[in-house]
């Protein structure tokens, strides 16, 4: 039975919602987790929920705050996040879920758990929704300044994610640039292009910003700076659009009634679009699954994150990624 280490002290609603999420995962999905954090508080919540003695607890007395410098986690060895990461590294747990300080979770993923063999760097991939399905954007923030070899590896990670987790056969891979033609883009894109072209990936060439939500590519690679900016801008655009529409609707009674009638349809749409609530975002290529959920994660989001961590294990994601790194990158391109 696999066990996911869950950082119970990270996130806006920690530890209550996090602990409840572990209970839900156990009750509804029969998935085991190890609850890492202040033992007394965790025990108290389990007692309230009448779920005592059914879940494992590992005590950790310290907490990484949301605004702490990420690298602090390497010094705070009694923090719930560090302890959870160590459990994974030492084989006591099979994956990590945290709603805490994203940078600190990344630090634990990269430096405590570490990348699988042959991989340059783990990267964050998100499956963004579009009318035709989903497009994996990778990296969206784990690596700020990147080299061409990193982007090549991100492409293989994204390919593996699309195939194994999203079920997309022979995913269409693109590199994020400005302008469609080969030779367009910044220095990093121009240098990465030939590596991608020489790989055995289904590489279609440059993707533009407009392709991200158009369903024209299954995987789009970029450095973590650009990817992070695009992801956060998209979230903020979504919120701004809803706010601006709301303000217009408030001006007219008919529009208000219309909005009421449309509500169920809008809620269905929101469910599809809210990729972060769905199950967190994964740091792909770490030795064991690392799932970062939104700081606002509630019990349901945590349950889903535990489910997603297990999915990576049952789909043998890392084994397939290792194979793909060997088979999709020709010997002469490997550095």
Q: Does 322 bind a copy of itself (CB under 8 A)?
A: no
Q: Does 133 bind a copy of itself (CB under 8 A)?
A: no
Contact 129, 273 (CB under 8 A): yes
Q: Does 214 bind a copy of itself (CB under 8 A)?
A: yes
Of the candidate residues 257, 296, 319, 323, the single one contacting a copy of itself (CB under 8 A): 257
Of the candidate residues 36, 58, 212, 221, the single one contacting a copy of itself (CB under 8 A): 212
Question: What backbone phi and psi angles, to 5 degrees, belong to 180?
Answer: -80, -35
Binding range to a copy of itself, per CB under 8 A, among 117-125, 138-146, 149-157, 164-172: 138-146
Q: Does 209 bind a copy of itself (CB under 8 A)?
A: yes
| Choice between 248 and 323, CB closer to a copy of itself | 248
Of the candidate residues 46, 176, 283, 301, the single one contacting a copy of itself (CB under 8 A): 176
CB of 331 to a copy of itself, least distance (A): 31
Q: Does 103 bind a copy of itself (CB under 8 A)?
A: yes
| Six token digits for residue 45 | 């919540």
Other C-beta atoms within 10 Å of 48: how many? 12
| Cα gap 319→304, rounded to integer Å | 23
Q: Where are the beta strands (DSSP E) in the chain?
A: 3-7, 32-37, 56-59, 95-98, 123-130, 133-138, 172-176, 202-207, 219-221, 281-284, 290-292
Contact 204, 174 (CB under 8 A): yes
Of the candidate residues 197, 245, 296, 326, the single one contacting a copy of itself (CB under 8 A): 245
Q: For residue 283, what are the CA distances in angstroms to 63, 113, 124, 260, 293?
A: 21, 11, 5, 39, 11
Q: Does 232 bind a copy of itself (CB under 8 A)?
A: yes
| Choice between 129 and 205, CB closer to a copy of itself | 129
Strands 123-130 and 133-138: antiparallel
| Cα gap 270→224, rounded to integer Å | 26
Of the candidate residues 230, 306, 309, 321, the single one contacting a copy of itself (CB under 8 A): 230
| Choice between 29 and 241, CB closer to a copy of itself | 241
| Choice between 118 and 182, CB closer to a copy of itself | 182
| Cα gap 51→71, rounded to integer Å | 35
Q: Does 12 bind a copy of itself (CB under 8 A)?
A: no
Q: Does 268 bind a copy of itself (CB under 8 A)?
A: yes
Q: Which residues contact 81 (CB under 8 A, 6 or more apart)?
A: 7, 9, 10, 64, 73, 98, 100, 101, 104, 105, 108
Of the candidate residues 53, 145, 167, 332, the single one contacting a copy of itself (CB under 8 A): 145
Of the candidate residues 131, 167, 169, 332, the single one contacting a copy of itself (CB under 8 A): 131
CB of 181 to a copy of itself, least distance (A): 8
CB of 219 to a copy of itself, least distance (A): 16
- Classify residue 236 as exposed, middle or buried by CB count within 10 Å of its CB (0-12, 13-18, 19+): exposed
Question: What backbone phi and psi angles, to 5 degrees, belong to 68?
Answer: -75, 150
Q: Does 144 bind a copy of itself (CB under 8 A)?
A: yes
Taking CB under 8 A as the criterion, which residues in 25-84 touch a copy of itself?
Answer: none
CB of 10 to a copy of itself, least distance (A): 18
Give the footprint of a copy of itself on this chain (CB under 8 A). 103, 129-131, 141, 144-145, 176-179, 185-187, 208-214, 222-226, 228-241, 243-245, 247-249, 251-252, 254-255, 257-266, 268-269, 272-273
């Amino acid at each position: 039975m696999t066990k996911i280490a869950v950082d119970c002290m990270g996130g806006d609603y920690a530890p209550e919602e996090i602990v409840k999420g572990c209970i839900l995962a156990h009750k509804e999905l029969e998935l085991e987790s190890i609850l890492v954090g202040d033992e007394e508080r965790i025990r108290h919540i389990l007692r309230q929920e009448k779920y005592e003695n059914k879940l494992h607890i590992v005590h950790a007395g310290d907490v990484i705050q949301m605004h702490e410098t990420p690298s602090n986690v390497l010094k705070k060895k009694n923090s719930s996040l560090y302890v959870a990461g160590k459990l994974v590294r030492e084989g006591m747990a099979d994956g990590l879920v945290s709603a805490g300080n994203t940078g600190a979770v990344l630090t634990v993923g990269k430096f405590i758990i570490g990348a699988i063999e042959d991989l340059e760097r783990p990267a964050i991939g998100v499956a963004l929704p579009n009318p035709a399905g989903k497009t994996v954007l990778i990296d969206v923030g784990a690596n700020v300044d990147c080299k061409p070899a990193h982007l090549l590896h991100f492409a293989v990670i994204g390919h593996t994610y699309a195939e194994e987790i999203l079920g997309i056969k022979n995913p269409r891979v693109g590199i994020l640039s400005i302008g469609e033609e080969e030779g367009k883009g910044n220095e990093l894109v121009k240098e990465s292009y030939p590596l991608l072209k020489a790989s055995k990936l289904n590489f279609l060439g440059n993707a533009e910003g407009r392709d991200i939500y158009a369903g024209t590519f299954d995987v789009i690679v970029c450095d973590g700076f650009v990817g992070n900016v695009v992801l956060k801008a998209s979230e903020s655009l979504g919120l701004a659009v809803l706010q601006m529409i709301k303000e217009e609707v408030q001006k007219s009674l008919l529009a208000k009634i219309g909005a009421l009638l449309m509500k169920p349809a809008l809620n269905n749409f929101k469910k599809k679009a809210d990729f972060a609530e769905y199950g967190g975002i994964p740091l792909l290529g770490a030795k064991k699954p690392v799932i970062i959920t939104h700081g606002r994660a509630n019990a349901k989001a945590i349950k889903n994150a535990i489910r997603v961590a297990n999915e990576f294990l049952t789909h043998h994601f890392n084994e397939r990624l290792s194979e793909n790194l060997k088979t999709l990158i020709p010997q002469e391109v490997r550095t």
